[in-house]
Structure 1
């Protein structure tokens, strides 16, 4: 028998999303296959797969302990979310064990299916940070007698779903601050800032509507700005390490002395970012919208509004509720002048009598008499033309002998 060689070993996952990426959540079934390509006959002791999900944190700090000495402190922490192992070919043996019971793979392609379930628990979302990461993957190992094992790995993504359609994440976020600039013995007027957003929860790709009011009573020219920040916090050995990154920002117009500026729904788009990670003990990913006033030569006046980036987008009903509540409350809350729309005129709402009769007769246009239904009354009420406006009551009250109020349009009592 001519011994062959292993030409390729690869891992393929079956469940792919619309972007051809393997994405899963807690409790999902992960299935796939290991493909082995050999040229000639190959004796195999075992083919094993190992699935792991691990959150890791690591950073190093160096400190001086004297004039010429220094020491380095390593901070590491690891948390395991997934551990699964399965043997697809053969049995687990020692590397130097006997060669009896080996499996022979003939020349060509060979596929071996596998499947396992993710734990029914809150898994940490896949993440890559500066001092830590959360990674999930499947590794295949092909063991042959008296040879080093061949390995192949395939990573997959896990999302811990965050539904932003909850009362906590649909609640508006708002704040107000004021600051007075001082220069030695001279004090200028205050700078005031008020800001509000429709809700706390958003998903990547959405735009945040910012409602803000800035009033500059100081002697300097200031600029209102807004920025979305991501804060990564890593924990190891009882110590924390924090990294803040700018995700997106926008800039308003410069504001002269004694002027004010209003943002009536200024849009700040959220780029593709990692969802918030709030339940992992060693890694946290949080977001905040910072609305601030850039003051040259002084500390900025800023408001921080916490955000949660989720994975389940806003439902249609929640969108209508949020937009109605924001439009009703934003104007009064910011102190902007209210400008209610003029009501429509009756001539714009009135329809022709012929159109009303057609609607009352039904879709088929037949004039046959049918017993009245609730839908007929609703349709008649909907398509009635509005009454003509008049200061004089066309139906004055008349008193009958019994003392009841009687109108000509009311049916007589039987």
Structure 2
């Protein structure tokens, strides 16, 4: 076998690049013997796609959207005689490459109804033989700096109440409050929350669920002959359990306070800036059940890629004294005042600042997906399954701001589907 090694190596071993930077690396080629070839080329490609199917009676209608972000070719080796082949010498060879990226490109994303995907594909053009290909995807990060989002440091405080009906008469009212220490977070950062429930009913509170909900909204146009050509929006949700108790036993005429913290998992940034066919939003949703009556609170939060400079390990409200029969053991956090200062021209934060740990990279919590497409054949090697990687901040590495014993990871993702799926 002449071709012993054919691979793409990025200068960043994890294959993560910022919008506006350069994708750089080497195509490594090892030949046991000389090989005839016309050329060795490298194709850079970036695209956004959306696709879903909707039933209309007995028919199914496809909705699609597509955007092209990168479509570039680079010749690394070519025959001396144009149009013919020449022998590439045996041995170990490394062909360097570099491509300047636009700063408006959206972050990588893999979803249930679409994606934003970037990859490069090297091809050996061989005369009278099948071409050889190797493919490698890379993650692109369009940074969302929370220091440039005015609402990011602002705490969230919401409350609601529900009346509970008893047998032929009212059974009372229960009150629910949700407080978050701020609005903007980055993956790896704890979201600190208070849940306060005042149960002034004749029944006990049973179920309590706090979720982090991602809503990805896809845009596409129908391929139906009768289509108006107007795009349609298609939302899909994924939720992560932050706190769940299915038998809380908050008794009648009692008040309970639950104070916890959960780490934001590795997820793409809010908004997916630069992409016009996919939008991403995040909410924290609280559901409390009393005898079949449910109280719900939904508040929007923002997930960025660059953390706030201000210290964020403070409780949203002054701690409430927990009842002796609290369903969870409360954590002890020292409340701090929040000093919100708005800079009209904020400067991107330095990763070396003491207010935040240096970022690492973490694979998306959704897991890997197949990325082979119609242009890949049996002679294509390299990435078959892949997941994008995002900046991840581990606050446990920070002096005096280590992970609190009650801080835990969010639960595994639960995928929500529409009725027509």
TM-score norm. by structure 1 comes to 0.69
Equivalent position to 2:143, from 161, 168, 178: 161
Range that drifts further, 50-59 or 245-254: 245-254
Q: Partner of 2:152: helix, strand, or coil? A: helix
Check the 8 A contact 1:24/1:158 in 2, yes or no.
yes
Aligned match of 2:97: 114
1:313 Cα deviation after fit = 2.5
Check the 8 A contact 2:38/2:83 in 1, yes or no.
no
* 1:9-408 → structure 2 map (5 Å cutoff): 9-16=6-13, 21-64=14-57, 70-90=58-78, 98-99=83-84, 102-121=85-104, 123-165=105-147, 166-183=149-166, 185-223=168-206, 224-237=208-221, 238-251=231-244, 253-263=248-258, 265-279=259-273, 280-298=275-293, 300-315=294-309, 318-319=310-311, 322=312, 326=315, 330-331=317-318
Q: Higher helix proportion, which one? A: 1
CA–CA separation in structure 2 for the residues paired with 1:105 and 1:91: 9
CA–CA separation in structure 2 for the residues paired with 1:254 and 1:184: 21
CA–CA separation in structure 2 for the residues paired with 1:254 and 1:178: 18
1:177 Cα deviation after fit = 0.8
The one-character-per-residue Cα deviations of 1:246-273 (angstroms, maximum 9, x if unpaired) are 212213642111111123x422332333
CA–CA separation in structure 1 for the residues paired with 2:170 and 2:296: 20
1:170 Cα deviation after fit = 0.8
Q: Partner of 1:221: helix, strand, or coil? A: coil
> Runs of 4+ in structure 1 displaced over 4 angstroms?
none
1:103 Cα deviation after fit = 3.4
The one-character-per-residue Cα deviations of 1:349-375 (angstroms, maximum 9, x if unpaired) are xxxxxxxxxxxxxxxxxxxxxxxxxxx
1:91 Cα deviation after fit = 7.1
Check the 8 A contact 1:209/1:267 in 2, yes or no.
yes
Check the 8 A contact 1:30/1:118 in 2, yes or no.
yes
Unmatched tracts of structure 1, length 5 or more: 65-69, 342-414
Check the 8 A contact 1:6/1:38 in 2, yes or no.
yes
Counting matched residue pairs gives: 310
CA–CA separation in structure 2 for the residues paired with 1:184 and 1:52: 65
Q: Higher strand proportion, which one? A: 2
The structure with the larger Rg is: 1
CA–CA separation in structure 2 for the residues paired with 1:236 and 1:92: 46
1:98 Cα deviation after fit = 4.8
Check the 8 A contact 1:248/1:268 in 2, yes or no.
no
1:213 Cα deviation after fit = 2.1
Unmatched tracts of structure 2, length 5 or more: 222-230, 323-333, 335-421
Q: Partner of 1:304: helix, strand, or coil? A: strand
The one-character-per-residue Cα deviations of 1:162-199 (angstroms, maximum 9, x if unpaired) are 22234321111121111112357422211111221111
Check the 8 A contact 1:278/1:284 in 2, yes or no.
yes
Higher relative contact order (CA 8 A, sep 6+): 2
CA–CA separation in structure 2 for the residues paired with 1:26 and 1:106: 37
CA–CA separation in structure 1 for the residues paired with 2:31 and 2:100: 30
Check the 8 A contact 1:35/1:110 in 2, yes or no.
yes
Check the 8 A contact 2:103/2:142 in 1, yes or no.
no
